[in-house]
Amino acid sequence: MMDYRLYIKEFIINIEMNFPVDTWRSKEIYFWPFLRRKIYFSLIRKFSDNKLIRLEKTISHQKPSFSIQQSIKGKFNVVSRVLSFIFFWINLRKKDYIFLSAPHFKETFEGKSFDRLFDPLIKDKDIEVRSIYLVLNSESKKKRGNALELEILKQYQTFELISKRFRSKTYHFDDLEFQNSNDFQEILKNEFKAYYEGLDINSFIEKRSLSLNTQIKFFKILFNRIKPDKVLSLCYYYSDLYEAAIAAANKLGIQTIELQHGSIVSEHMCYAEWNKIPSSGFSTLPRTFWCWDSFTYEIINKWTSESNFHDALIFGHPWISFWNNRDVYSSEENYVLYTLQPEPEYKIEQLFPIGLVNYMKSKSIKWIIRMHPRQKVSKVSFENYLVQQGVSNFILNTVEDSPLPISMSGCTLHITQSSGCVHEAVLFNKKTVLLNKIGQNYFKSMIESGNAFYFNPNNVNFSEEMDSIIDMSKELSRKKFSQSKSLEKMVKMLKS
């Protein structure tokens, strides 16, 4: 499999080295961060499944027709929306901590929706009463645990409609600072080819800057009402609104913090290798990055140490610390844990190459195979495939079947293609075998430290290598994680 992410990394670094991206701005907004992400994710999509997310979505300008009934219903909805908007602002109260998360970071715990990285911190009663979640669309209150949720998407949409009423229909972007834009656009055109046709990059930047400015105004008003001390995010680029919330908080002098949500390697261009940063920093990026471990810290600190605005520190892994405090372990023992990765990067045949299948069939050791939360192939399809290959000594788990810390706690060895679960394995003192060369490239520092190994399942000596690492791992007693701070220390850091 081609390691296209290395190509993408080099492509973006080349742009930063040859263009003054730290000066590109519209009014007070430096637009390189959101332009960089668009390029990054568009190229990932291009290489992974030969499809490309355009930098600018096509918007239909056709006006729909409305019946009288729809018109009456529409007027009722307008009144309802305005009342909701008024009550939204009236009911705001002072909160010290604002949390920005996303649905895919949540699991079901004790019958309620539980954010696996934020909620372990919010369970501290002193923090819970002083916290609020900002969410795009609110969940059912019956399913939600811990802090209050504040739904912002509909309220922002109303705010945007009101803003447009008082905004000039003609926009002027004479202050757009975009040096060497023609050369930059030529590079994009050569890379994206047909997908680039018809795209006016200046227009794209101007439209995003305009919407971002409106969004920042919304969050400035919101934060001036709530008066938070800290705004914490799990994925600052999950939504354009979250990016704006970060920018608004930075402009107001509120501390912004990104808590690591998954594996961060040097090829992850939302977090790594920012080579040109304004002296005042990028306001649309979090100011501080809280990392799970030293491996991630080294990647982010490489560039934050050169910044006067951004910084990084080792915070720990709240989800692992949470389960460690509960002293709950897997009911199974002495098994190999295989954490899968989703399509389109890995097809089922790539996840189970013939060398791995033959090893699984030839040994009596039990395997627990953990599906990825975004796995498109069904559990039944995986089971049928493995049975057809003659494999029977396995248990197939979804994320609902067992939390990752529980699955990790009882395993003898962890294996994966190139999953970020290698971080959790290190925190549990478990060795990881990487089956794909991409993993070897991503986790070089973990391989150098002896926490991970790369074995090619197609090599003739794969079976001997696996036997050796399993025997070595069996000699290690089950230990609690060593590199993650205790939950109590994390809570203390949050309160400081």
pLDDT at 174: 62
Q: How far apart are CA 166 and CA 175, in angstroms?
A: 21
Ranked by mean pLDDT, the top range of 187-201, 275-289, 420-434, 465-479 is 275-289
- The C-alpha angle 89, 92, 95, rounded to 5 degrees, equals 150
The tens digit of pLDDT for each residue in 217-265 reads 999 999 999 999 999 999 999 999 999 999 999 999 999 999 999 999 9
Cβ atoms 31, 205 nearer than 8 A: yes
Which phi and psi (to 5°) does residue 419 adopt? Answer: -70, 150
Decide: 465 and 455 in contact? Cβ < 8 Å.
yes
Q: What is the pLDDT of residue 61?
A: 33
Higher-pLDDT residue of 139, 407: 407
Q: What is the pLDDT of residues 138-171, one digit of tens each?
A: 654 434 454 588 889 989 999 998 888 776 655 5
- pLDDT, residue 479, reads 53
pLDDT at 402: 84
pLDDT beyond 50 at 60: no
Give burial (CB, 10 Å; 0-12/13-18/19+) of 112.
middle
| Lowest mean pLDDT, pick from 210-214, 295-299, 339-343 | 339-343
Considering the entire predicted model, what is its pTM?
0.87
Rg (CA), the chain: 24
The Cβ-side half-sphere exposure at 445, using a 13 Å CA radius, reads: 12
- Please give the residue that has the higher pLDDT: either 29 or 169: 29
pLDDT at 71: 47
Q: How far is CA 478 from CA 21, 167, 368, 411, 423, in A?
A: 49, 63, 17, 9, 17
Would you state the pLDDT for residue 332? Answer: 74
pLDDT band at 308 (very low <50, low <70, confident <90, very high): very high
Predicted pLDDT of residue 65: 41
Residue 191 pLDDT > 70, yes or no?
yes
Mean pLDDT of 69-96: 76
Please report which confidence band the pLDDT of residue 328 belongs to, taking 50, 70 and 90 as the band edges.
Answer: low
For the chain, what percent of residues have pLDDT higher than 90? Answer: 56
Is the pLDDT assigned to residue 395 strictly greater than 90? yes
